[in-house]
């Protein structure tokens, strides 16, 4: 699984549609600081336009150059994509150097929800910075088990194989 990206464009092309339901993913931005006010504006001429705490940010998606007015206080933020049906979500941490160029784009989190035919409901959160995958399994409305494992790679292109893997994981819990 790819965990680092050369450009914002490559990150946003990582998944175009939800691998579970096929709906188009929505781009979202967030700040490292949870109290920050973040707004994703739009794409225009190969640029991603957004604002964090009233600082306008233009990211050239081809060159990784950033222009901000006024200058950014925090040189880190997140960009990700979200399924509108809340099945799937991923985000990457963007680190900016002192020259206002993106220094690194590293996958931070991947999240998905899946329900098997036997009605077992899974919520999977992979945290790449912690090298950990947390899986919550609910087999009915009352019994929930949680399991933490080293990063688990899921193949979204083969749903039956992914479901079989989740079924095996549920036996461990």
Q: Please, which residues have CB within 8 angstroms of residue 137's CB and are 6 or more apart in sequence?
A: 120, 121, 122, 144, 145, 146, 147, 169, 170, 173
Sign of the alpha-carbon torsion through 167, 169, 172, 173: negative
Q: Is residue 2 part of a domain?
A: no
What range does the domain containing 104 cover?
A: 8-110
Based on the fold, state whether residues 50 and 106 are members of the same structural domain. Answer: yes
Question: pLDDT at residue 43 above 80?
Answer: no
Question: pLDDT at residue 47 above 90?
Answer: no
Mean pLDDT taken over the chain: 87
> What pLDDT score does 34 carry?
67
Based on the fold, state whether residues 51 and 70 are members of the same structural domain. Answer: yes
Q: Which of 7 and 34 is assigned the larger pLDDT?
A: 7
Question: pLDDT at residue 9 above 80?
Answer: yes
Tally of domains in the chain: 2
Q: Which of 64 and 52 is assigned the larger pLDDT?
A: 64
> What pLDDT score does 35 carry?
66
Q: Are 153 and 169 in contact (CB under 8 A)?
A: no
Q: Provide the β-strand partners of residue 122.
A: 114, 137
Q: Is residue 22 part of a domain?
A: yes
pLDDT tens for each residue of 66-122:
888 777 666 788 889 999 998 999 999 999 888 888 999 999 999 999 998 888 899
């Amino acid at each position: 699984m790819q965990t680092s990206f050369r450009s914002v464009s490559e990150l946003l092309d990582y998944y175009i549609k939800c691998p579970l339901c096929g709906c188009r993913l929505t781009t979202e931005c967030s700040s490292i600081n949870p109290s920050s006010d973040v707004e994703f504006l739009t794409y225009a001429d190969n640029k991603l336009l957004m604002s964090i705490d009233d600082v306008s940010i233009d990211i050239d998606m081809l060159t990784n150059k950033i222009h901000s007015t006024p200058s950014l206080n925090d040189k880190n933020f997140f960009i990700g994509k979200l399924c509108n049906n809340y099945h799937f979500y991923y985000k990457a941490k963007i680190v900016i150097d002192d020259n206002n160029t993106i220094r690194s784009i590293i996958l931070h989190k991947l999240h998905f929800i899946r329900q098997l035919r036997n009605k077992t409901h899974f919520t999977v959160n992979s945290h790449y910075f912690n090298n950990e995958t947390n899986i919550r399994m609910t087999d009915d409305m009352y019994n929930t088990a949680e399991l933490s494992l080293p990063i688990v790679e899921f193949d979204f292109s083969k749903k039956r194989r992914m479901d079989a893997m989740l079924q095996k994981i549920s036996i461990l819990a």
